[in-house]
């Protein structure tokens, strides 16, 4: 059976990356797809772990040759998910998680309508701005741009299947795990996963 494709998106500063990291620690059966990006790595980022960092020219060539499952221009830089990092895993029955933006999520839903999408919201505008400034990884101009762009991003939250508010971090992680578990327990998923059991239970006496 095919694995489930999960999508998590959020505006910058909502805490998406921290939530995903905590989720993966508790859900080892989920594989995180590492995205490609044309931006330069931050001081704490490792190539191949946080992103695959490539030049803008390499990224555009990959896009033209159909290498991406989805891609978008995010805050002036390209980000995208390689087909080779997703499709073979899903075909092998693995659950895959994409940590992407709303534009990429829209592309994925069109290509893979059976995917499940979650949007992370901050508890307030003031908290969003505080988190962005406390990261100390962006310039004042970049922070201002991310704050302005967040309004556009949040306007697309209604396109997603679920919304999680990241106010209490532990509760937000619990909410995410509940969504993942509920998806795995759906009737159609369980019937495929346990087809042999169903056949055995339905045998004539």
DSSP letter string over 107-175?
HHHHH-TT-EEEEEE-S-HHHHHHHHHHH--S-HHHHHHHHHHHHHHHTTGGGSSEEEE-SSHHHHHHH
d(CA 128, CA 168): 14
Task: List pLDDT tens digits, range 139-157.
Answer: 888 888 888 889 999 999 9
Whether 126 shows a pLDDT value over 70: the answer reads yes
Confidence at residue 172, expressed as pLDDT on a 0 to 100 scale: 98
pLDDT recorded at residue 1? 59
Where do the domains of the chain lie? 5-33+95-201
Tokens standing for residue 17: 């990356």
Question: How would you list the strands of the sheet with 36-37, edge to edge?
Answer: 52-53, 36-37, 77-82, 68-74
Give the architecture-level CATH label for domain 5-33+95-201.
3-Layer(aba) Sandwich (3.40)
pLDDT digits (tens, 9 = 90+) for 166-199: 999 999 999 999 999 999 899 988 998 899 999 9
Q: How far apart are the first and last CA of the chain?
A: 29
Give per-residue pLDDT as tens, 15-69: 999 999 999 999 989 999 999 999 989 888 899 888 999 999 999 999 999 999 8
Number of residues that make up the chain: 205
Q: Looking at the predicted structure, is the pLDDT value of residue 104 above 70?
A: yes
């Amino acid at each position: 059976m095919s694995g489930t494709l999960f999508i998590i998106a959020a505006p910058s500063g909502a805490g998406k990356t921290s939530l995903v990291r905590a989720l993966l620690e508790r859900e080892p059966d989920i594989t995180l797809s590492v995205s490609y990006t044309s931006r330069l790595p931050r001081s704490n980022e490792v190539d191949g772990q946080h992103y695959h960092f490539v030049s803008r020219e390499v990224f555009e060539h990959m896009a033209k040759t159909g290498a991406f499952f989805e891609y978008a221009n995010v805050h002036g830089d390209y980000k995208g998910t390689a087909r080779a990092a997703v499709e073979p895993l899903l075909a092998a029955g693995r659950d895959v998680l994409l940590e992407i933006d709303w534009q990429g999520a829209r592309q994925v839903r069109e290509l893979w309508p059976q995917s499940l999408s979650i949007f992370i919201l901050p508890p307030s505008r003031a908290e969003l701005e505080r988190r962005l400034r406390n990261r100390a990884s962006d310039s004042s101009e970049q922070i201002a741009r991310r704050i302005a762009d967040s309004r556009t991003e949040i306007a697309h939250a209604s396109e997603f299947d679920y919304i999680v508010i990241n106010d209490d971090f532990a509760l937000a992680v619990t909410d995410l795990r509940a969504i993942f578990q509920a998806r795995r327990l759906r009737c159609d998923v369980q019937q495929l996963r346990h087809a042999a059991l169903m056949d055995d239970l339905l045998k004539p006496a």
